[in-house]
Amino acid sequence: MWWRSASFILDNSRNPVNDDVPPDSITISPPPLTDSTAAAAPTLQIPNFNRNMSMSAYYQTRAAHHGVVTSDWLAQAQEAAAATGAVDGQEDGGGGTGGRAFSVIDEFNSWRKQPDLAEAVAAIRALAAVIRNSEANTMMELEIELKKASDSLKSWDTTSISLTAGCDLFMRYVTRTSALEYEEFNSAKCRLIERAEKFGEISCKARRIIAMLSQDFIFDGCTILVHGFSRVVLELLKTAAQNKKLFRVLCTEGRPDRTGLRLSNELAKLDVPVKLLIDSAVAYTMDEVDMVFVGADGVVESGGIINMMGTYQIALVAHSMNKPVYVAAESYKFARLYPLDQKDMSPALRPIDFGVPIPSKVEVETSARDYTPPQYLTLLFTDLGVLTPSVVSDELIQLYL
């Protein structure tokens, strides 16, 4: 803040200390890390994934799925993969799954290669595989084993909200379902695995439910602004097109991974009139927009969403022009997080290709997503129904308390 008052002189003496912490090694360095471990004690050099790889695993998967990959990105991804591989080995050595060849992370990685599978579903399938491979004899043992697996999974990619939420959800099911306690161990195990297998279906079904719920909100002749590529939003628009609704879609470009391009391709196949915008043209076109549809990486406890970079500013513009902002998200993306502001999350990083070399002195903001506070959102379409943002917390409390 440039208007800092005199008492802030105190801060200046501290700043150099902070700057020393992240070594100035790569051109696309992460911004001065805000999470506590990095700046608190340089001596505590625990392998922090955010620092080792400049792209979060979540976005790697997405990039692979979308097939829009730059050469720069590939190199980064390989580097990151090497880094994570090393870490994997480390973790398995110390972790609970150590004795065996089975690794929950490998399992998870193999599941998430499937393009249509949501991250949370992959996580739950991976946990199901843990159960299947488990040699535990009691429910308690199994629970401990699962807990370890889900913890290692969560710490493997701290940036993915739906991975965390999926793990939490499944753990919650295992620990809190009272029906399991009265059952014989093997049948309880079977039931858990069955439940995990079903979860994929549930996730697909959730998308269909959301698509059906949202149809009432799409009227003939409306113009919809879409940001980012969200499978739910695509499903929703697809259903609307199938229902012979007449509408127009404006797609933002979605730099840097150009997710908007991909969505516009999909929509063009459905014969929906699409217009592509560059990300900075949102305010320019907002007055012809009737509603904004976005997906969500995660829905947090305040009712706000964490989504691809740019969602916040679109929501702000829409709010100032009194346009409704609708969020389509499955309920397994509800996470027990409560960011207070933009920097209050573990940052998910993503390299940005500017097409020209960037001087090493210039810092690049590589955060991949932002937080949209609930007051800028109109409604959330979830498989639990159409919710106002404040209901999210109620659902979460009921789920986790």
Partner 1 sequence: MDARRGVRAVPKVRQVGFFTANPPPPSRSQSVPADSTSPPLSDSPASGNSLSPVMIPPPRHLSDNLSHLRSAAVPVPDSSSRRPIAGEHVTVVGSYNPPDSVLGEVVSPNFSEDNSEASTTLGWFGKSGSGKFTPGSSFPGGGFDLTTVKSEKFTAKDAKKNTGVPETSGGVAVEAQNDIPSSSKPTKAESKAKPTKAERRALQESQRAAKAAAKGEGNKSAVASGGATSGKPTKQSSQKKDDPLVVSSIVGADKKTGDRSVDKERKKDVPPPRMQFDDKNRVGKAKKRAMFNQTEARNRVELFRHLPQYEHGSQLPHLESKFFQLDSMHPAVYKVGLQYMSGYICGGNARCIAMLQSFQEAIKDYSTPTEKTLVRDLTAKISSYVSFLIECRPLSMSMGNAIRFLKSRIANLPLTLSESEAKAIICKDIDQFIYEKIILADKVIVGHAATKVRDGDVLLTYGSSCVVEMIMLHAHELGKQFRVVVVDSRPKLEGQTLLRRLVAKGLSCTYTHLNAVSYIMHEVTRVFLGASSVLSNGTVYSRVGTACVAMVAHAFRVPVLICCEAYKFHERVQLDSICSNELGDPEAIAKVPGRKDVNYLDDRANKENLQLLNLMYDATPSDYISMIVTDYGMIPPTSVPVIVREYRREHLLIG
Q: What are the beta bridge partners of residue 382? A: 385
Per DSSP, the three-state class of 222 is strand
- By rule CB under 8 A, what count of residues binds partner 1? 33
* 346 HSE (CA, 13 A, CB side): 21
Binding window for partner 1 (CB under 8 A); candidates: 49-57, 237-245, 314-322, 386-394: 386-394
Binding window for partner 1 (CB under 8 A); candidates: 23-31, 86-94, 245-253, 387-395: 387-395
**Token output for 133:** 């491979």
CB of 390: closest distance to partner 1 in angstroms?
Answer: 4
Per-residue binding string, partner 1, 24-43, x by CB under 8 A, is ----------xxx--xxx--
CB of 34: closest distance to partner 1 in angstroms?
Answer: 6
Give me the residue label for tokens 């209050």.
Answer: 344
- Residue 46 binds partner 1 (CB under 8 A): no
- Distance, CA of 75 to CA of 96 (rounded, Å): 32
- Residue 175 binds partner 1 (CB under 8 A): no
- Residue 113 binds partner 1 (CB under 8 A): no
User: 34 vs 187, which CB is nearer to partner 1?
Assistant: 34
Binding window for partner 1 (CB under 8 A); candidates: 206-214, 221-229, 345-353, 388-396: 388-396
- Residue 347 binds partner 1 (CB under 8 A): no
User: 3 vs 221, which CB is nearer to partner 1?
Assistant: 3
CB 236 within 8 A of CB 245: no
B/e letters for 164-200, b = 16+ CB within 10 Å, e = fewer, are bbbbbbbbeebeeeeebeeeeeeebbeebbebbeebb
- Residue 19 binds partner 1 (CB under 8 A): no
- Distance, CA of 382 to CA of 399 (rounded, Å): 15
CB of 95: closest distance to partner 1 in angstroms?
Answer: 24
CB 318 within 8 A of CB 28: no
- Residue 144 binds partner 1 (CB under 8 A): no
Task: Give the E-state strand segments of 246-346 in sequence order.
Answer: 247-252, 274-277, 291-294, 298-299, 305-308, 325-328
Cβ atoms within 10 Å of 34's Cβ, excluding its own: 13
Residues 262-301 that bind partner 1 (CB under 8 A): 301
Residues 295-334 that bind partner 1 (CB under 8 A): 301-303
**Token output for 185:** 């161990």
CB of 169: closest distance to partner 1 in angstroms?
Answer: 16
Element (H, E) at 65: helix 57-66
User: 36 vs 186, which CB is nearer to partner 1?
Assistant: 36
**Token output for 76:** 């980064």
User: 197 vs 394, which CB is nearer to partner 1?
Assistant: 394
User: 172 vs 269, which CB is nearer to partner 1?
Assistant: 172
Q: Could you report how far apart the first and last alpha carbons of the chain are, in Å? A: 39
Is residue 23 reached through a cis peptide bond, with omega within 30 degrees of 0 on the bond before it?
no
**From 344, 354, 360, 363, residue interacting with partner 1 (rule: CB under 8 A):** 344
**From 273, 340, 360, 365, residue interacting with partner 1 (rule: CB under 8 A):** 340
Footprint of partner 1 on this chain (CB under 8 A)?
1, 3-5, 7-8, 10-11, 14, 18, 34-36, 39-41, 301-303, 336, 338, 340-341, 343-344, 374, 390, 393-394, 397-398, 400-401
